[in-house]
Amino acid sequence: MDRRIAVISAAASGIGLAIAKALCADGWRVYAGDRDTAAIAALGSGSETLAARVCEVSDAASVEGFYAWIEGDLAAKGAVGIDLLVNNAGIAGPTARLEDQPLDGWNETVGVNLNGTFLMTRGAIPLLRRRAPGSAIINMSSTAGLFGCPLRGPYVATKWAIIGLTKTLAMELGPEGIRVNAICPGSVEGPRIDRVIAADAAERGLTVAEVEHEYKRQTSLRTFATAGDVTAMVQYLMSPAGARISGQALAIDGHTESLSLDMEA
């Protein structure tokens, strides 16, 4: 197989789907995983450029089955290894002060966002080595991984951890020619940030419009990012222009000034 090959988690909707579609349009073959069974079924697996399968990133057995399926398909097509892993899977987690955070919500957020990144990366490294030098890992962090953010303790903790993991992996894998970077989007337009804003508004007794205005004022450009902005960064990092970029946390956020909120309101 002459195509470049990518594995993307949480690829059946949102940012993950946008990245998958863009890479397919660029001639890649994409293996898409997602825990949403209906979305995976709708995505299908019949094309030469896209294959999809259910994968729960926080479950080691599910991840192992996902990679076994990929390796079987690669072998059937005469391909060796993969060129890119995009660790896109993540959840927003509960919105509450830390003392009010439910333990199950904390554990689920850590399980998906951090443990899921670990499990997906551990499974991908042997496949990435087969295409090195030139293969890469892109981890989806957040501007919440660069700043503190009230009411989002579990989410923030995992996104900071992902940046630390990114820099460590860049050091471990760099001598083999495998690059590792983190992308740190700010608030990205779409249903997910709408849910976060609604939860924040309910927690603080504000209107959705008030919270959205507050979020946009956190950035110099006074706007949200788009899935297309994130996709373009993935394409850039995998282009010749990105060949020497590794170990970086790259913000796509309109220049975040602060994620502080008025907690005295």
**CA separation for the pair 71, 49 (Å, rounded):** 16
Tell me the residue type at 228. G
Residue 118 has pLDDT above 80, yes or no: yes
Domains of the chain, residue spans: 5-252
Question: For the chain, where are the E strands, in sequence order?
Answer: 5-8, 29-34, 50-54, 84-87, 136-140, 179-185, 249-252
Residue 46 has what pLDDT?
A: 63
Catalytic residue among 31, 155, 215, 236: 155
Average pLDDT, the chain: 92
Range 202-215 average pLDDT: 82
Q: How many H helices and E strands in the chain?
A: 9, 7
155 included as an active-site residue = yes
Distance CA 88, CA 186 (A): 14
d(CA 263, CA 189): 24
- Amino acid code (one letter) for 197: I
Q: Is the pLDDT of residue 263 over 70?
A: no
pLDDT at 209: 86
Residue 2's pLDDT is what?
77
User: What average pLDDT does range 129-156 have in this prediction?
Assistant: 95
pLDDT in tens, 22-60: 999 999 999 999 999 999 998 876 678 999 999 999 999
Output the six-digit token pair for 189. 């337009």
DSSP state, residue 132 = -
Buried b (16+ CB within 10 A) or exposed e, 200-219: bbebbebeeeebbebbeebb
Architecture of domain 5-252: 3-Layer(aba) Sandwich (3.40)
Distance CA 236, CA 61 (A): 33
Residue 109 in this model has a pLDDT that exceeds 80: yes
pLDDT of residue 19: 97
What is the distance between the alpha carbons of residues 239 and 181, in angstroms, rounded to a whole number?
A: 14
pLDDT digits (tens, 9 = 90+) for 59-86: 999 999 999 999 999 999 999 999 999 9
